[in-house]
Amino acid sequence: MSRMGMTMMAALTAATLAATTEAPRAEASSPPVKNVVLVHGAFADGSGWRGVYDELTQRGYRVTIVQNPLTSLADDVAATKRALDRQDGPAILVGHSWGGTVITEAGVDEKVAGLVYVSALSPDAGETTAQQYEGFTTPPEFVLETHDDGFGFIKADNFKAGFAADTTDADAAFMRDSQVPIAMSVFSTPLQHAAWRTKPSWAVIATDDKAFDQKMLQAMAKRIGADVTEVPASHAVFKTQPKVVADVIDRAARQVSAETQRRAAASAPDGTPQ
């Protein structure tokens, strides 16, 4: 064989080897987080997430909205787990208010890559949701009424001031009259898991929230080590500030994806991304 032929053969062999070594890396690559699961809180349902849903789907995310029965922590976690089971890859799990307790318990699921708390509760394992209020004073605008069957509503006369002060009168009236009651016993149910201990967390804090003491929101976010974004909004921040909430979810997804790729690169034998 001529010298030129030998050179061409060597180049072809090298190219073939490169192709065969690169193929497994492409298969092993961790996909970016493109799934988002939204979990509503008490006195509301999943339709309040419509603005956030629209923002995220326009950015290319696959969004699933959980409809919590609000009958027990176990029931709400089961509803969230069913949604997570339907995801085709890693997901950002988002909770508003009571939904924060739900994602704290359900977020240990292997498909959950990160947690976003939207003016939300975040108990530790072994704690109850009610314990999060100890040492803090709930604003007087937020008044609950508990029926004989143990389910609670926000008092109608206080609904706008306590839950949705930055909505229109018409929207507040509709939310008031369509509110979903919650079994008050859920607040005394201890958690078995605290996903924020092993998953990265972000928090959106509504600075005009009248359902929680602001000091309580800040203390919870600090304890879980959340990346905090503050926004002037009522407790209905998930409805009234959809772009801000979507921006935080988007940032969480991007940061988790980037960290996954960084770890993959660090674990590669030659230090290149897998």
Q: Is residue 264 predicted with pLDDT exceeding 90?
A: no
Contact 274, 267 (CB under 8 A): yes
Q: What is the pLDDT of residues 146-183, one digit of tens each?
A: 999 999 999 999 999 999 999 999 999 999 999 999 99
149: left (phi over 0), alpha (psi -120 to 50) or beta: alpha
Model confidence band, residue 127 (pLDDT cutoffs 50, 70, 90): very high
Note the pLDDT of residue 261: 80
Q: Is residue 29 predicted with pLDDT exceeding 90?
A: no
Note the pLDDT of residue 269: 66
Note the pLDDT of residue 8: 39
Note the pLDDT of residue 232: 98
Q: Amino acid identity of 187?
A: F
Backbone angles phi, psi at 130, to 5 degrees: -60, -30
Would you say how long the chain is, in residues? 274
Q: What rounded mean pLDDT belongs to the chain?
A: 90
Query: What mean pLDDT comes out for the span 102-119?
Result: 98
Q: In terms of Cα–Cα distance, which of 56, 50, 41 is closest to 103?
A: 41
CA 104, 105, 111 angle in degrees (round to 5)? 85
Contact 130, 152 (CB under 8 A): no
Kindly state the DSSP code that residue 49 receives in the 8-state scheme. G
H-helix or E-strand containing 208?
A: none
Domain residue extents for the chain: 34-134+186-267
Topology of 34-134+186-267 in CATH? Rossmann fold (3.40.50)
